[in-house]
A and B are shown apart, each in its own frame.
Chain A
Amino acid sequence: GDSVTQMEGPVTLSEEAFLTINCTYTATGYPSLFWYVQYPGEGLQLLLKATKADDKGSNKGFEATYRKETTSFHLEKGSVQVSDSAVYFCALSGAAGNKLTFGGGTRVLVKP
């Protein structure tokens, strides 16, 4: 079945540092890929998405490129802020309609 693996956290960074969160997936066919972010006490917010190979999703300074050859969708941000502290989830939506399969989440803590 479909699965998503992402790096375990927590990831602790200083403000303005570069952030990378690795995500790899296993799926049949051509899934759509997503990054969601969850702030304390809240639900998940869509951060960015990509629906086909070589697509680059971007939002709020975050970027991720759909790499079919390496089955990866790594999240990057060039200069993080304290407000980026949250849990980040990589997810895919495959052949089974709107069902999302999530990775385990990566907690990111940005210190001033």
Chain B
Amino acid sequence: KAGVTQTPRYLIKTRGQQVTLSCSPISGHRSVSWYQQTPGQGLQFLFEYFSETQRNKGNFPGRFSGRQFSNSRSEMNVSTLELGDSALYLCASSEDWPGSRNQPQHFGDGTRLSIL
């Protein structure tokens, strides 16, 4: 099976712009989660989507949003970019079925976002 695919790998934006990142999960995985990784704050959970619904949300401002499509692909959007949004954004997918619990997540290689 192909792994989790994130596009683009690198992105440079300026303050005030908005950006959309894309994630294609492993085939058959219906849960997609997003994480932000920075040297200062480490790995922080952004949100999780399952069957096109946001199931869980971390402590990020409303400028960070996401969605999931019927084929489980997901996008995250960041509006009004700030310098502090510079980070590696990681997407992860996992299997999820009734009765399953805390299944391992499989990560993509991430999108490195730099804000100038």
Contacts and interface: CB of A to CB of B under 8 A. Distances in A.
Contacts of A41: 109
Interface residues of B, number: 26
A46 B42 CA distance: 17
Interface string B22-38: 00000000010101000
Given A89-B43, A99-B48, 9 more contacts: A41-B109, A43-B6, A43-B90, A43-B108, A44-B107, A51-B101, A94-B102, A97-B48, A98-B103
A101 interface: yes
B104 interface: yes
Nearest to B112: A41
Contacts of A45: 107
B80 interface: no
Nearest to A44: B107
16 contacts: A36-B107, A41-B109, A42-B110, A43-B4, A43-B90, A43-B108, A44-B92, A49-B104, A97-B48, A98-B55, A98-B94, A98-B102, A99-B58, A100-B92, A102-B42, A103-B42
Interface of B: 4, 6, 31, 33, 35, 42-43, 45, 48, 55-56, 58, 90, 92, 94, 96, 101-110
B110 A43 contact: yes
A97 B104 contact: no
Contacts of A104: 42
Contacts of B103: 98
B104 A102 contact: no
